[in-house]
Amino acid sequence: MKNCPTCQASYPVTFAVCPQDGTPLVEVGAWTPGAVVRGKYRIISKVGQGGFGAVYKALHVNFDELRAIKVINKEYLSDQLFVKRFKHEAVITRKLQHPNAVRVDDIDESEDGTPFIVMEFIEGQSLRKLIETEGAQPASRVCSVIKQSAAALDAAHRIGMVHRDIKPDNIVLVETPEGEMAKVLDFGIAKVKEGSKGDTGGMTLTGTGVVIGTPQYMSPEQAMGKRGDQLDGRSDLYSLGIVMYQMLTGELPFRADTTMEMLIAHVQQPPLDVCSVHPELRIPDAVAGVAMKLLEKNPDDRPASGQALIDEIEAAESGVSGEIGATHVISPYNLVDQPLEEPPPPPPPPP
């Protein structure tokens, strides 16, 4: 592809000069900053690189709006099954229209034949970064983020889509005029990876099956090697429970030195009680109870749906609203920020 330095228009490599102004064209890569892909998306910068694709910040030249463009890595282009699933999952994800899920706008191929997905561009802080820099969060904020994330998952589950890789990296906090909004990223990506011949992002548990996900946040079902239609929305809720636990305590519910130990812990070990990890945090019992219920080994013992989880959190909030409102951010575990208890009144004078 070639660009015109004067008008910024893009043309095939067979063109020598710009048909509009006669300026000699400069050959650029399809994803070089300044390149215009499909005559609509001007690449601004590369903002992320993952195991199977890169993400670019781009400007829609007709709408003058920012977009995020996800592009398959070159080594996957020869995997026709992967490419097919990439496109199919983009079509399915396009149906997920929810304010707490990143919107998919388009799917196309660049001039060199590379498939790409056009998504809503969001600017914010990932939960991973928040936990790394600030540690445990106040129960009120945790409840808000988890409820919003659960709402996005509930909408996805209703159209038959299981995320499979819920983790702090895939939840971004965006500031809006109405307050903090949680956005869940990468719906459909884990399922695409299941169709890859060369995927190494999963962890082999049985020696015959590859498990897709992030070991620290996998459900017991995933850790045992279940995949595809063997998983339902309650698997995502378990993963969201680990995120909730980590937001409340700054810690993971299991201790493990290896990936295999972590997978076994999900299947066999009870999680550390959320209130005992850092007792000084004084996590409200009702909120802690919701987090622990999400971490039940048996999916039948977890909330049945994202909406059921929202209802349980709201019930916990209503039961301890004063306690939740008094909780402060501890960064990390700074007791100076902890609300002090009032001393008991003096006893009445003797008669």
pLDDT, tens digit only, all 351 positions of the chain: 677 878 877 777 678 889 989 888 776 666 888 889 999 999 999 998 877 789 999 999 999 999 999 998 888 888 888 888 888 878 888 999 999 999 999 999 988 889 999 999 999 999 999 999 999 999 999 999 999 999 999 999 999 899 999 999 999 999 999 999 999 998 876 555 554 444 434 443 333 344 567 999 999 999 999 887 889 999 999 999 999 999 999 999 999 999 999 999 999 999 999 999 999 999 999 999 999 999 999 999 999 999 999 999 999 998 765 444 433 333 332 323 333 344 445 556 555
User: Which domain-ending residue is among 91, 120, 149?
Assistant: 120
What is the residue whose two structure tokens read 């890169």? 54
Report the C-alpha gap between 61 and 41 in whole angstroms. 6
236 in the same domain as 107: no
CATH of the domain at 97: 3.30.200.20
Asked whether residue 150 falls in the same domain as residue 57, the answer is: no
Q: What's the domain range around 150?
A: 125-337
Q: How many CA atoms lie within 13 A of 148 on its CB side?
A: 20
Catalytic residue among 165, 169, 311, 337: 165
pTM: 0.79
CA 333 from centre of chain? 25
- Which of 101, 120, 139 corresponds to the end of one domain? 120
**Residue matched to tokens 């080994």:** 297
Residue 285 falls in the annotated catalytic set: no
Please give the structure tokens belonging to residue 66. Answer: 């920012």
Rounded CA gap, 162 and 187, in Å?
A: 8
Task: Tell me: do 70 and 167 sit in the same domain.
Answer: no
52 with 143, same domain: the answer is no
Burial of 327 (0-12, 13-18, 19+ CB in 10 A): buried
Do 220 and 286 lie in one domain? The reply is: yes
Residues 183 and 87 in one domain: no
